[in-house]
Amino acid sequence: MTDLAPRRRGMSPNQKRDLRNGLLFISSWLIGFGVLLGYPIVSSLYYSFTDFSVLQPPQWSGLANFQELAHDEVFLKSLYNTFYYAAWALPLGVTLALAIAILLNTGVRGMPVFRTIFFLPSLVPTVALAILWLWIFNGQYSILNYLLGLVGIEGPNWLSDPHWVKPALVVMSLWGTGHAVVIYLAGLQGVPASLYEAAELDGATWWGRIRHVTLPMISPVILFNLIMGIIGTFNYFAIPYVMAPGGQPARSAYFLAVDLFDNAFQYFRMGYACAMAWVLFVIVFLLTMLALKFSERHVHYGGG
């Protein structure tokens, strides 16, 4: 009986040499990934099930950390603050950045200057930006309240009032949309002008051209910025840590990333902080999957 199945051949000497050379070339990356990313990720998952104070060996505690999180009022407050911030800052940031990019893509005179002006704020160091906005939101001497006073509006104590501190941080987040604007501009410049001409010949208004031509053509770019925004808003740390130490007033500016940092490096509850980090990871992962699922019908790729 003749065996008709093709014989499996091993790798040729040239293929083995190429594989060896390829692995050698990326060996530094593989080692760096394993040491700097892989090991910490696996370790944090293990520590999340332990009582680990950094100074003492970890003691296995099972689901105790996660059970405590479910009843931790400070954690629940920080989780609410984070969702509140994300629910406002994310859609406002995406919309504003897209609107600015569309305006900058109109080709008016001096456009490179305007593009530079909108991009520069995103280059300001985070701590310096926080100090700047501390003065802008100062309840007594801020220029913002001074301008509001010119039109007869008495400005609040932005960072001292629990009802205004989160809206103030949301407004501040719009300052750094320049990097997203640049990405949108790159996508807009790839939209064929012939599509706009065809839409105009069909009688489409400016909004019709944006809705039926611009948004579908740059939908992958919108999805990318949306996912990056989800990750960024749920890891919101430096600004509230500098501007509202301890989440004051009344922990109304206490965010999940700040709570995680405090538990890990101030209270030395590293196991509890690792459990918090994995909860944060699951939230970001689920929201990202939700965005990708929603994109199946609304995001259009070239050639698709």
Question: Over the stretch 160-219, which tens digit does the pLDDT of each residue have?
Answer: 899 999 999 999 999 888 889 989 988 998 899 898 889 988 888 989 999 999 999 999
How many C-alpha atoms does 245 have within 13 Å on its Cβ side?
3
Inform me whether the pLDDT recorded for 25 exceeds 50. yes
Rg, Å, the chain Cα set: 25
- N- to C-terminal Cα distance for the chain? 48
pLDDT at 1: 47
Residue 51, beta-bridge partner list: 59
The 8-class DSSP code of residue 59 comes to E
pTM, to two decimals: 0.87
How far apart (Å, rounded) are the C-alpha atoms in residues 136 and 125? 17
Inform me whether the pLDDT recorded for 3 exceeds 70. no
Q: Quick one: average pLDDT of 65-82? A: 96
Is residue 19 within a helix (H) or strand (E), and if so which, with residue range? Answer: helix 13-25
Tokens of 213: 């031509």
Q: Quick one: average pLDDT of 84-93? A: 95
pLDDT at 119: 85
Q: Quick one: average pLDDT of 91-114? A: 87
Closest CA to 158 of 139, 182, 133: 139
Domains of the chain: 13-65 (no CATH), 67-298 (1.10.3720.10)
Inform me whether the pLDDT recorded for 287 exceeds 60. yes
27-56 pLDDT, tens digit per residue, is 898 898 888 888 999 999 999 999 999 888
